[in-house]
Amino acid sequence: MATEEIFIGRQPILDRKHQLVAYELLFRSGGQKNEANVQDDLGATANVINHAFAELGVEQALGPYKGFINCDASLLLSDIVEILPTDKIVLEILETVEVTPEIVERCTELKARGFTIALDDFVNYEDKFKPLLDLIEIVKVDLMPLNREQLGAVTSALRRWPTLTMLAEKVDSREQADHCHMLGYGLFQGYYFAKPVIIAGKKLGHSQLALVRLLGMVMEDAETSQLEGVFKHEPGLTMNLMRLTNSVSTGVRTKITSLRHAITVLGRRQLQRWLQLLLYTNPASNDNIASPLLQLAATRGRFLELLAGKLNPGARELEDHAFMTGIMSLMPTLMGTPLAEILKGIQIAGDVQEALEHGTGQLGNMLVLCEALENGNGGLCHDLVEALPGADHLMVNACLTQALSWASNIGRENS
């Protein structure tokens, strides 16, 4: 059987503290229709799952996070799901699955095997769902078709199952997230945290300004003593830099103890990358350093870097530009400040600026591709890959899983 063009996407799932706890893994066909055609063909589905887990290493790429996978009736009833790791995978029953005694029996069996089971796209309570709600652990409520009154009614109906975790999906704004938080939802899915909220006249904070200045100094090859001078006035930044550079993702086995040591061990090129990621940490907080926004930015940066390297072997400068494009694409969201304001303190290459401002050029195409993967838009992924000479869906999926694995290790201390 010929390999169908399938793109692997992922969407973050957050807890009540807005910390990343899982990804929904999206297998999307690159055909003209933006749907998961793969689920209409059990053989193709088996091929995709086997490829994703056995060959691409999606299980490893998930790091400490779980992965939600959509299941139609044929997949749910097949033996294929039994090859998946029960501790890493949540089986998400699609809304199109008819709740029959056979489906309920199969879910009971899979739960006994150790799987966590979720119900997808729940928009209103009907008695037919009761047998599933009695045994599943998570129900995903689709906010898109619901107004506040309808959401309240659905939530009230689900409270009859107090052990059930309610997940709000397609959360498009902080306001929606806060409302669902107040209603008692435990999990949240959507890119509301990655959408920019630009406040007119907002200025960069002191630590942010220092980091932008440091990035400019590193790119201009300033003396180490000059860099140390800036860090001496920012102890929170120094602490977070040490935490980042001592994480598994650096690949460095030596414990880094100072900025001078970091420069010696990592070199200026790698230091520049970690300074870019440092923008996404809060120097005043001792919370989990690998925030959802940092995870997203790191994945984007690493994905673009890897893809640039595959398409242009040996072009290290282009890889650097690709990494910076991915990282900086989310800086307006991070800082609540227009890109033009952020760029005032740092000179960036023309191809990076073109990609960020207009989504054009090779870097721009790769950035838009990355965003399409995040949203599970298989049709757009196909068109964008066609526009990248030398690229194909297998290369894209391999780069994405490597990027996810790298990002997942950020903040995990290197032993």
List pLDDT tens digits, range 234-244.
777 777 778 77
Mean pLDDT is highest, among 45-54, 286-295, 349-358, for 349-358
CB neighbour burial string for 209-235, b if at least 16 within 10 angstroms, e if fewer: ebbbebbebbbeebeeeebeebbeebe
Which of 20-24, 34-38, 131-135 is most confident? 131-135
The residue type of 141 is V
Average of pLDDT values for 340-361? 83
DSSP-derived secondary structure for 84-95: S-TTTEEEEE-T
Kindly tell me if the per-residue pLDDT of 112 is higher than 60: yes
User: What is the pLDDT at residue 140?
Assistant: 96
Q: Are residues 27 and 122 in the same domain?
A: yes
Under a CB-based contact definition with an 8 Å cutoff, are residues 303 and 295 in contact?
no
pTM metric for this prediction? 0.80
- Asked if residue 279 has pLDDT above 50, the reply is yes
Domain encompassing residue 42: 6-194
So what's the pLDDT on residue 38? 43
Total domains, the chain: 2
Q: Cα(105)–Cα(252) distance, rounded to whole angstroms?
A: 49
* 247 belongs to a structural domain: yes
SS3 content of the chain, % helix, strand, coil (to 5): 55, 15, 35
User: Nearest to residue 65, comparing CAs of 7, 141, 10, 143?
Assistant: 10
* Same domain membership, residue 250 and residue 172: no
In 3D, which of 41, 55, 53, 52 has the Cα closest to residue 1?
41
Instruction: Give yes or no: residues 228 and 265 share one domain.
Output: yes
pLDDT at 289 over 70: no
Residue 185 per-residue DSSP state: -
**For the chain, what percent of residues have pLDDT higher than 90?**
37
In a domain, 372, yes or no: yes
**What is the average per-residue pLDDT within 54-60?**
71
Final residue belonging to a domain, choices 194, 216, 241? 194
